[in-house]
A and B are shown apart, each in its own frame.
Chain A
Amino acid sequence: MADNFNLREELARCVKCGACMAVCPIYRQTGREELVARGKLALVERRQREKEEPAAGNLSAFYRQAIDHCLLCHACEDNCSKNVQITAIIKESRREITAARGLHPVKKALFGLLRGRFGGLRTLTRIGSWLQLLAWKRLPAGSGLRRRLPLPLIDDQTVIPAIPRRNLDDRLRRRPAAAAADRPAVFFYPGCTARYLTPELGVQTVAVLEKLGYRVVVPREWTCCGAVVEAAGDRQTAVELQQRNLRVLAAAADRGPATVVTVCATCGHTLKGYPLPAGCQVMDISEFLYAHRQPLEKLLAGKTLDRRLTYHDPCHLRRGQKITAEPRWLLRLLAGDNFVELRHPERCCGSGGSFGVTHKALSRQILGEKIADLRQSAAAVIASGCPGCLIQLNEGIQMEKLAVAAVHPVTLLAELLAAPPAGETAAAVPTSGEEKKTPAKSRRAEKTSHKRKKG
C-alpha cells in the first residue's frame, strides 16, 4: 500500500514525454489529454501547488473525473522510462478525494459489509443469490443473468454471474475429506470472486492441488484482499482488510514456511504487495503449476484440448506480477498447437474492478476491441487467470453472441485431468458456449465426479 512513497518526488519524476499516451486504454478511446497518465499527473501536481495557497482549491469536478478515469491497468507505468509510480499516485489522489467527499453510497454500504466481522459478504451473497432470481432472468447458456428490473448502474446488457447459493466454504465443507494429514500443506487464497461468485473455480483449484499431492488449507478467516476498496480511495478499510489477512498469514507462517496460491490476478498482485511475514510466499497458480511441471505433465498423460484456445493477459498478472510465460506454458501444455495468441493479448479488457460498472460505456468500448481481437483469433476458448477479466470477457461474448467460452486456465486443467485418458475419447472439454450446461445439470455432474473420486 505504497509506504515509503513520496508524492512530490514521484510527481517530479514525470518528464511529460508522453510515452504513456501510446498504451493507455482510456486515452486510446477518448483522446483526452487530461485522462492519460501525463495529464492526470499534471492535474495532481497543480492540486498539490494549490494546497499550499491559503484558500486551498476545492476538488473540482474536472479533477475528480480525471482521477476517476483510470483502470489501474499499469500499462502506462510499464511503458514509462522514468518508472513513475502512476497507479500509486492515482490511488493516493483517490484517497484524498474520498476523504474529502465520502464514498459513493453503494460502495460505502458494500465496504462496510466487508469490514463487518460476521462475514458480511457471505450473508450478502447468500441473500443476493435469492434476490437476483427475482431481478434477473437466466441466460440460455446459464452463464450469467441479465437484468429484469431496472437497477441503478446496471443496464439490460450487463451480464452478472449467477450468484450460487452455496459459496466455496459450503462447497468445501461438503467435500469428502480428501487428503491425509501427512501431506504437505498449501494455502489457497480464493479471493471474493472464487469464494462467492464462482466457487466452482475454487473447487477446481483445490482438486488440482490435491492431485499434485497437497493438503489444501483454505482458512475461513481470509477476507477480501482490499484491491477494490483501495481503488475506490477507502484506504482505511483496505488497511483493515490487509491486517486481517496478515494475521491469517502470520498464523500460517508460524508453523513453518507457507506457500499461498491465488487464482485471481488482482488478489495475487495485492497480496504480494503486503508486508508478508518471513517464510511466507504468495504464488499465482500458474507459477505454482510451473514449479510442478513434471508431475503435472505425467498427470495429464498426453491429454489435450481439441479446440482452438487463446489467452488474455490480466493486467495484474502481466504487469502487476510480471507473469507472462507461465500461463502460456500451461496453455500450450493443455492445447498444444491449438493455442494461438491474440493480436493484443496485453491490452486491458476494460474491467478495471468497478470501472466497468461506473463507466459502462467507456468500459464497453475498450472491451469491444478485445472482443474484435478474439473474433479475429477464431478461438473457441479464451483463458485468463483473473475472475474479473472473465466476467468482463463473458459480457463481451454475450453481447456479440460469439460461441466462445471464457474460462480460467485452472478450469481447463481440472476438466482435462478429469477427462478419460487420451485415445479413449477425444478429450472433449465441455467449455464452449453451445455446450455449456445449465446450472442444474452441472450440479449433477459435480456429484458424479465426486462419486468417481470416492470409488
Chain B
Amino acid sequence: MPVTEGLVVSLTRMKRILEIDEENLTVLVEPGVVTGELQEEVGKHGLLYPPDPASLAFSTLGGNVAENAGGPRAVKYGVTGQYVRGLEVVLPDGRIIRTGNKCVKSVSGYDLTHLFVGSEGTLGIITKILLRLVPAPEAVQTMLLGFADMEAAARAITAMIRRRLVPSTIEFLDRHSIDAIRDALPFTIVDDVRALLLVEVDGDAAQVRRDAEAIGKLLQDSVRLQMSATDAAERQAIWQARRALSPAIARLAPHKINEDIAVPVARIPAVLERFESISRQAGLPIVCFGHAGDGNIHVNVMLDKNDPRQAAAGKQAVREIFAAAIELGGTLSGEHGIGNTKSAYFSLEWDADTIAAMRLIKRAFDPHNILNPGKIFPPVS
C-alpha cells in the first residue's frame, strides 16, 4: 500500500510455475504464484517447499521473497531466504538483471540474490524466482503439550533442542491466549495449564515415532497435558487451538496493535516477563503467542483506540515492547518487515552507520526513490 498517492504494481497475474526440476530439486516461478498453490503443486511430485507463513493461502512468492517470510516450520527448515537460489529483477531504471543459479555452491561475485530477499520492494521488482525444494517428509506427528508456566515451556524447548530433537514446529500460547480460546475447543484444557506448546515432528514414519516418544519421555515430569495426533482429522483438532486464536483475541477489545518481535529462543521467558510488567504499567492486556521454536512472538496490545488514554498508553507500550526485545538481543520484526509503521523505531535496532550503509545501497539501486518510497527508512529530518 502506498504511503501517499502512488502507483501500485500488481504482479498477481504473473502466476506461472515455469519449471519443476526434479533432478536439481529446484522450481522456477513467476512472482505472482501463490505460496500454497506452489506447495500443492510440488507436493504432487513428492517435494516440499517448506516456508509456511500463515498467509500462504493468498500470499505470493514475490511478496514472500521481498519480506523474507517464514512460518511455524522455520525451526527446522528456515525461512524463505534459505530457499531462494536466484532471481530475475527489474531495476528502477528498467534494466533487467539476473542473480544466482541452480548450483548449491555459488560464490561468483556479490550475493545479489540475498540483497533482494527482505528488501520490501525498495530495490527492484522481482519477476522470476528460482527456489530450492526438499523431499517431502513421509509422516508428521502433532502434539499439544501443556505446562504450568511459560518458564517450564521454555525449558522444555531448550531441552528438546539440546537433545538434538528438532521438531519441525514449536508454537506457543501464553495464559491469556489459552483463556481466550478455552471455550472454543473440542477438548478441555485444565486450569493449571498456563502455557501450551504445539509441537510437530516430521520425517520417515519410524523416526517420527521415535522422536515423539523421546519427547514424551524427556518432558514427562513437566507436562500437565499431552495430546498427540497422527491422522489429518486429529491434527486438525489440535491446530484449531492455534487457528482459533486470532479471532478469539479480537473479541477481547475493540482494537489491537500487533507486533511480531523476535528474540533468541532462550530469552523467551525473560521477554514475556518484561511484557507482563509493560502490560501492568499501561493498564492494557497484552496477549502473546507465536513461534517459540524460532523466538518469534506475536505481541498483541489490546485496547480501544477511541479512548485517548488507552491510545496513548498503547503507543507507549509498543515502544517499550520494541526496546525490551532489542535489549534482549532480539529484533523489531521476525516476519512482517519494517514497512512504514515500524520505520520510526528502526534506529532502536540499528546504529546510524548501519542505517547509512543501507541507505547507500538503496540510493545505488534507486537514486530517484521511486520504489516504495517511505518504507523501511525513517524520514530524514
B13 within 8 A of A: yes
B10 to A18, Cβ gap below 8 A?
no
5 cross-chain CB contacts under 8 A: A17-B55, A22-B36, A31-B12, A33-B10, A81-B250
B247 to A22, Cβ gap below 8 A?
no
A16 within 8 A of B: yes
Give A406 Cβ to nearest chain B Cβ, in Å: 28
Give B77 Cβ to nearest chain A Cβ, in Å: 23
A386 within 8 A of B: no
- In the complex, residue of chain A having the shortest beta-carbon distance to the beta carbon of B250: A81
B12 to A33, Cβ gap below 8 A?
yes
B58 within 8 A of A: yes
Q: CA separation between A198 and B220, bound complex, in Å?
A: 64
Known pairs A18-B59, A31-B12, A31-B32. 4 more at Cβ < 8 A? A17-B55, A19-B57, A31-B13, A33-B8
Find B58's partner among A22, A32, A82 (CB 8 Å cutoff): A22
Looking at B1, B8, B55, B58, the one whose CB has the most chain A CB atoms below 10 A away is: B58
Interface size on A, residues (CB 8 A): 12
Give B181 Cβ to nearest chain A Cβ, in Å: 15
Give A201 Cβ to nearest chain B Cβ, in Å: 35
CB-CB contacts below 8 Å: B6-32 with A:
8, 10, 12-13, 15, 32
Find B247's partner among A17, A21, A31, A81 (CB 8 Å cutoff): A81
B246 within 8 A of A: yes
**Given known contacts A81-B246, A81-B250, is B15 in contact with A31 (CB within 8 Å)?**
yes
A-B contact count (CB 8 A): 27
- In the complex, residue of chain B having the shortest beta-carbon distance to the beta carbon of A19: B58
CB-CB contacts below 8 Å: B47-65 with A:
55, 57-59
CB-CB contacts below 8 Å: A10-34 with B:
16-22, 31-33
User: What residues of chain B have their CB less than 8 Å away from a CB belonging to chain A?
Assistant: 1, 8, 10, 12-13, 15, 32, 34, 36, 55, 57-59, 246-247, 250
User: What residues of chain A have their CB less than 8 Å away from a CB belonging to chain B?
Assistant: 16-22, 31-33, 81-82
- In the complex, residue of chain B having the shortest beta-carbon distance to the beta carbon of A27: B12
Q: CA separation between A20 and B55, bound complex, in Å?
A: 11
Q: CA separation between A18 and B1, bound complex, in Å?
A: 11
**Given known contacts A81-B246, A81-B247, is B12 in contact with A22 (CB within 8 Å)?**
no
B1 to A16, Cβ gap below 8 A?
yes
Q: Which residues of B contact A22 (CB under 8 A)?
A: 34, 36, 57-58
Q: CA separation between A213 and B373, bound complex, in Å?
A: 71
Q: Which residues of B contact A82 (CB under 8 A)?
A: 250
Q: CA separation between A18 and B63, bound complex, in Å?
A: 12
Give A8 Cβ to nearest chain B Cβ, in Å: 14
B55 to A18, Cβ gap below 8 A?
yes
Q: Which residues of B contact A16 (CB under 8 A)?
A: 1
Q: CA separation between A81 and B58, bound complex, in Å?
A: 14
Q: Which residues of B contact A32 (CB under 8 A)?
A: 13
**Given known contacts A31-B13, A33-B10, A81-B250, is B1 in contact with A21 (CB within 8 Å)?**
no
Give B46 Cβ to nearest chain A Cβ, in Å: 21
- In the complex, residue of chain B having the shortest beta-carbon distance to the beta carbon of A18: B58
Q: CA separation between A82 and B250, bound complex, in Å?
A: 8
Q: CA separation between A256 and B152, bound complex, in Å?
A: 60
Q: Which residues of B contact A21 (CB under 8 A)?
A: 12, 58
Q: Which residues of A contact B250 (CB under 8 A)?
A: 81-82
Give B30 Cβ to nearest chain A Cβ, in Å: 12
Q: CA separation between A19 and B56, bound complex, in Å?
A: 9
Q: Which residues of A contact B58 (CB under 8 A)?
A: 18-22
Q: CA separation between A18 and B57, bound complex, in Å?
A: 10
Q: CA separation between A32 and B12, bound complex, in Å?
A: 8
Give A295 Cβ to nearest chain B Cβ, in Å: 30
